[in-house]
Structure 1
């Protein structure tokens, strides 16, 4: 469905000439992004999933009489699920064009290959950041009621959670763009990201053991949780966690750029 939706106007930002500079490339990507339904659906699903998950989290904390905790923990926990709304959004911005062959028009319009890739990464990253911040605010508001006294609220801590979730979603979006350029197919990109962001961490945590848990700490979602929660038990400081997730994103982009330059459109 997303491929058909993307084909409606994916080439509208391409025009008939070439854009000058990075600003023009970003403007073209902005037009393509908001000219189709997929991004709106992904953002809506993300908001709804955040609300449902945080309500459930708060309810479970109250029913099981968990210890007092920051209300933002509900939002951070929801990212294990909601991150995939961001993944799908960022994936279709790339693979939708390959599916409909409109990537050829995009590369004619912006002939500098890395500029196309960076424009998509910047745009999806910014959109994901603000979407994450909105989800975090909504999630804390929804979770506060069902927590029923089992949660605490501190303005500074809440702001850190909002910014942390926004930054995490932004980096996940950038990582996704790189993986999508490397795979060129939605199914392949989603399989890689599902494994990397959820399946592999779940397996490592399920098997347990110091070595496997240490490996898990260096995976993208685990690093994201460390800087979103900013807890005392993190194996590295928040800045280190951000750098780990950024390194994954850079590695994905270098791989995607290599494929783009070797195989073109």
Structure 2
């Protein structure tokens, strides 16, 4: 009499993917480093702005010129954040191919789509938690710094919760993009370079406003969508102060920005599932 082995349920796959993700020492180091770097840059920017206010000959006017929302979500800091989260997603995929563990995984669970679905669920959940910690910490700490000059924002301020939510969701979106690139390239250095190019460089290549189609391509990038979602439209600088506008001639609407987030996430998941299911290990 032949006794068949019990089939792995989806919860078992989730547990396995959770274990594999946290068994990598790089996961801890990358997430801790990403938190310190991202939040540190934003807090340092806020402190620099406060010092600028105090040294100014006209503190009231200088304080009005500073956008506290921008200090909480410094683009350069969150560009690093995007690359870090994208790299974590990529490692979750190409790490198994590089080590050969993927063969063992598919031998134990031939249903590749279920394996990928479990990996997507675990990585998305971890990255969402990570993004929430970073976004909430950056906003809370920077606004505490700005509060000394009475220009700090509360989470109930117009656009504040949206900015925190968008920054938190940016992490799983970028991680899913990294997973898709890892599934396609399957090489550590090549995948990380691809993450940097797709998430960081491509948006900057399509910033021109001479041709609308160029700008529209740039608007469809996760970085551009995030910048639109964290923009403080309620901040009015003094007449002689700097005017910061992200929209230009062809601005990204809030609705369009959320659609971009969703489209990139869905497309990344689709690419990962299709590539892993059809390509040999």
TM-score range, shorter chain: 0.7 to 0.9
Residues 40-70 of structure 1 show CA distances to partners (whole Å, capped at 9, x for unaligned) of 1111011111222112321443438462424
Aligned partner of 1:209 in structure 2 is: 210
1:196 to 195, 198, 203: 198
CA distance in 1, matches of 2:150, 2:206: 30
CA distance in 2, matches of 1:202, 1:150: 35
1:178 to 172, 177, 180: 180
Which consecutive residues of structure 2, in runs of 5 or more, have no partner in the other structure? Answer: 54-61, 235-245
CA distance in 2, matches of 1:105, 1:231: 52
C-alpha RMSD of the superposition: 2.6
Residues 139, 217 of structure 1: alpha-carbon distance in 2 compared, 3 angstrom cutoff: same
Aligned partner of 2:152 in structure 1 is: 152
Aligned partner of 2:265 in structure 1 is: 249
Aligned partner of 2:110 in structure 1 is: 111
* 1:156 aligned counterpart, secondary structure: coil
Q: For the Cα contact (< 8 Å) 2:144–2:152, is it kept in 1?
A: no
Which consecutive residues of structure 1, in runs of 5 or more, have no partner in the other structure? Answer: 1-16
Aligned partner of 1:167 in structure 2 is: 169
Q: For the Cα contact (< 8 Å) 2:86–2:174, is it kept in 1?
A: yes
**Aligned residues between the structures:** 248
Deviates more, 1:120-129 or 1:133-142: 133-142
Q: Displacement of 1:96 after TM fit?
A: 1.0
State the structure with more CA Rg. 2
Q: For the Cα contact (< 8 Å) 1:178–1:256, is it kept in 2?
A: yes
Q: Displacement of 1:236 after TM fit?
A: 4.5
Instruction: Provide TM-score, normalisation by structure 2.
Output: 0.77
Residues 263, 154 of structure 1: alpha-carbon distance in 2 compared, 3 angstrom cutoff: same
Deviates more, 1:79-88 or 1:220-229: 220-229
* 2:73 aligned counterpart, secondary structure: helix
Q: Displacement of 1:240 after TM fit?
A: 2.9
Deviates more, 1:226-235 or 1:110-119: 226-235
